[in-house]
């Protein structure tokens, strides 16, 4: 296309979701990515789409809930358009309960889930014995089981959205490209550094994560969240384990002994994983805004420029709604972005 109505800079999950949403509404969209689709943190392995706990409710949690509830239709539509698989499944999640206090809190949160989630998903206390060979041992013999958590394969999901953009008439440019129309900056942790320079104050930084994948087929089982560790079965017969959170690092894209430690912790939780071979290891840097919330909206002082950054650990989970609210703003001038997500909140 000669000119675009919207140009999106960055081929990670936020850039792809905004480009896809704008194209769905008939805009001419060009996405420019310097390296490759999902080259940054959106090219990872884990793909855990997990909800916030259903208590102390706020706008951020509601935004994520809305997006998680949109996700199945969102990914199925993109898959139907392209013939590709995102690896999405609302497979649920198990979390061990260590003591009576944790059990009581879990029951209370189950009441919160009934009030907030309604009949759309459940949060319940179940016996670990119901998942033999999979559920980690726990002193109480009990676990939280929620049916809102989902999984998707980050690399496949990114490729699916890029292909969907093309099917809708959009253009994906790898390398240098010419921007026209409204310009959306979705450039990851490197973009946060550029924004910090532009605003004259730190608005965010990069946090490195490492993860790995095993050849272990548990595709029909719920994901596990054990002592801060995500263990996520994927539809292709692999199982992802992650991730670290490293504020200080020398190399952004190399794995080390911290990745080995993740593997060891996963085996300690699920001994059946001990014989499963490692098939992939990954490291990348996730964009974390200073507020820990995403930065969405107009770029202050730069008319026609917009920012979508700071997805950090929840980028894929909130991507469907991020795309929708950014398209509302860019194409229709309707601003439905929560106060805490606004760019100004980080300034």
Cα 302 versus chain centre, distance: 28
Q: What are the backbone dihedrals phi and psi of residue 174, each rounded to the nearest 5 degrees, phi first?
A: -100, 125
pLDDT in tens, 53-97: 999 999 989 999 999 999 999 999 999 999 999 999 999 999 999
Q: Are 49 and 149 in contact (CB under 8 A)?
A: yes
Q: In whole numbers, what is the pLDDT of the chain averaged over residues?
A: 96
**pLDDT of 321 higher than 90:** yes
Tell whether 174 and 246 lie within a shared domain.
Answer: no
Inside any domain, residue 221: yes
Paired with 124 in beta bridges are: 145
Specify burial of residue 296 (Cβ count, 10 A radius: 0-12, 13-18, 19+).
buried
Inside any domain, residue 53: yes
When pLDDT is averaged across residues 9-24 and rounded to a whole number, the result is: 98
Tell whether 65 and 75 lie within a shared domain.
Answer: yes
Tell whether 174 and 297 lie within a shared domain.
Answer: yes
**pLDDT of 1 higher than 80:** no
**pLDDT of 347 higher than 90:** no
Q: Are 150 and 234 in contact (CB under 8 A)?
A: no
| pLDDT recorded at residue 216 | 98
| CATH of residue 53 | 3.50.50.60
Tell whether 47 and 102 lie within a shared domain.
Answer: no
Tell whether 68 and 175 lie within a shared domain.
Answer: yes
Tell whether 221 and 284 lie within a shared domain.
Answer: yes
- How large a percentage of the chain has pLDDT more than 90? 97
**pLDDT of 28 higher than 80:** yes
| CATH of residue 269 | 3.30.9.10
Inside any domain, residue 244: yes
| pLDDT recorded at residue 346 | 84
Inside any domain, residue 234: yes
Inside any domain, residue 1: no
**pLDDT of 2 higher than 90:** no
Tell whether 250 and 332 lie within a shared domain.
Answer: no
Tell whether 83 and 99 lie within a shared domain.
Answer: no
Tell whether 211 and 259 lie within a shared domain.
Answer: yes
pLDDT in tens, 96-131: 999 999 999 999 999 999 999 999 999 999 999 999
Inside any domain, residue 59: yes
Tell whether 224 and 324 lie within a shared domain.
Answer: no
Domain count across the chain = 2
Tell whether 137 and 15 lie within a shared domain.
Answer: no
Q: Which helix (H) or strand (E) holds 125?
A: strand 123-127
Structural domain including 227 reads 93-148+207-289
Q: End of a domain among 243, 264, 289?
A: 289
pLDDT in tens, 251-266: 999 999 999 999 999 9
Tell whether 216 and 268 lie within a shared domain.
Answer: yes
Alpha helices in the chain (DSSP H): 13-24, 59-82, 100-116, 154-167, 188-199, 257-269, 315-332
**pLDDT of 134 higher than 80:** yes
Inside any domain, residue 332: yes
Specify burial of residue 66 (Cβ count, 10 A radius: 0-12, 13-18, 19+).
middle
Distance CA 108, CA 10 (A): 42
Other residues' Cβ atoms within 10 Å of the Cβ of residue 37: 21
When pLDDT is averaged across residues 224-240 and rounded to a whole number, the result is: 97
Paired with 283 in beta bridges are: 210
Inside any domain, residue 18: yes
169 contacts: CB under 8 Å, gap ≥ 6:
23, 28, 29
When pLDDT is averaged across residues 154-172 and rounded to a whole number, the result is: 97
């Amino acid at each position: 296309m000669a000119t675009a109505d919207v140009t999106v800079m960055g081929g990670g999950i936020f850039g792809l979701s905004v480009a896809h949403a704008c194209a769905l509404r008939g805009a001419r969209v060009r996405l420019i990515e310097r390296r490759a689709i999902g080259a940054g943190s959106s090219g990872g392995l884990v793909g855990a789409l997990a909800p916030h706990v259903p208590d102390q409710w706020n706008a951020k949690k509601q935004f994520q809930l809305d997006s998680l509830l949109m996700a199945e239709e969102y990914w199925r539509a993109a898959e139907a358009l392209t013939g590709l698989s995102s690896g999405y499944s609302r497979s649920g999640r198990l979390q061990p309960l260590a003591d009576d206090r944790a059990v009581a809190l879990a029951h209370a949160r189950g009441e919160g889930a009934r009030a907030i989630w309604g009949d759309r998903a459940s949060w319940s206390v179940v016996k670990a014995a119901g998942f033999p060979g999979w559920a980690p041992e726990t002193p109480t013999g009990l676990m939280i089981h929620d049916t809102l958590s989902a999984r998707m394969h980050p690399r496949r999901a990114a490729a699916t959205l890029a292909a969907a953009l093309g099917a809708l008439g959009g253009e994906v440019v790898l390398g240098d490209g010419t921007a026209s129309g409204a310009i959306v900056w979705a450039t990851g942790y490197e973009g946060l550094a550029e924004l910090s320079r532009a605003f004259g104050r730190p608005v965010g930084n990069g946090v490195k994560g490492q993860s790995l994948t095993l050849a272990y087929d548990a595709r029909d089982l719920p994901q596990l969240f054990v002592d801060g560790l995500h263990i996520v079965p994927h539809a292709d017969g692999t199982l992802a384990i992650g991730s670290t959170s490293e504020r200080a690092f020398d190399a952004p894209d190399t794995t080390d002994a911290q990745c080995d430690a993740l593997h060891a912790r996963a085996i300690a939780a699920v001994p059946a994983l001990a014989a499963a071979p490692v098939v992939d290891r990954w490291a990348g840097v996730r964009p974390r805004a200073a507020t820990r919330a995403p930065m969405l909206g107009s770029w202050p002082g730069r008319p026609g420029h917009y920012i979508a950054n700071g997805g950090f650990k929840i980028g894929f989970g909130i991507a469907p709604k991020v795309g929708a609210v950014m398209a509302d703003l860019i194409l229709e001038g309707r601003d439905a972005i929560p106060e805490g997500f606004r760019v100004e909140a980080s300034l």
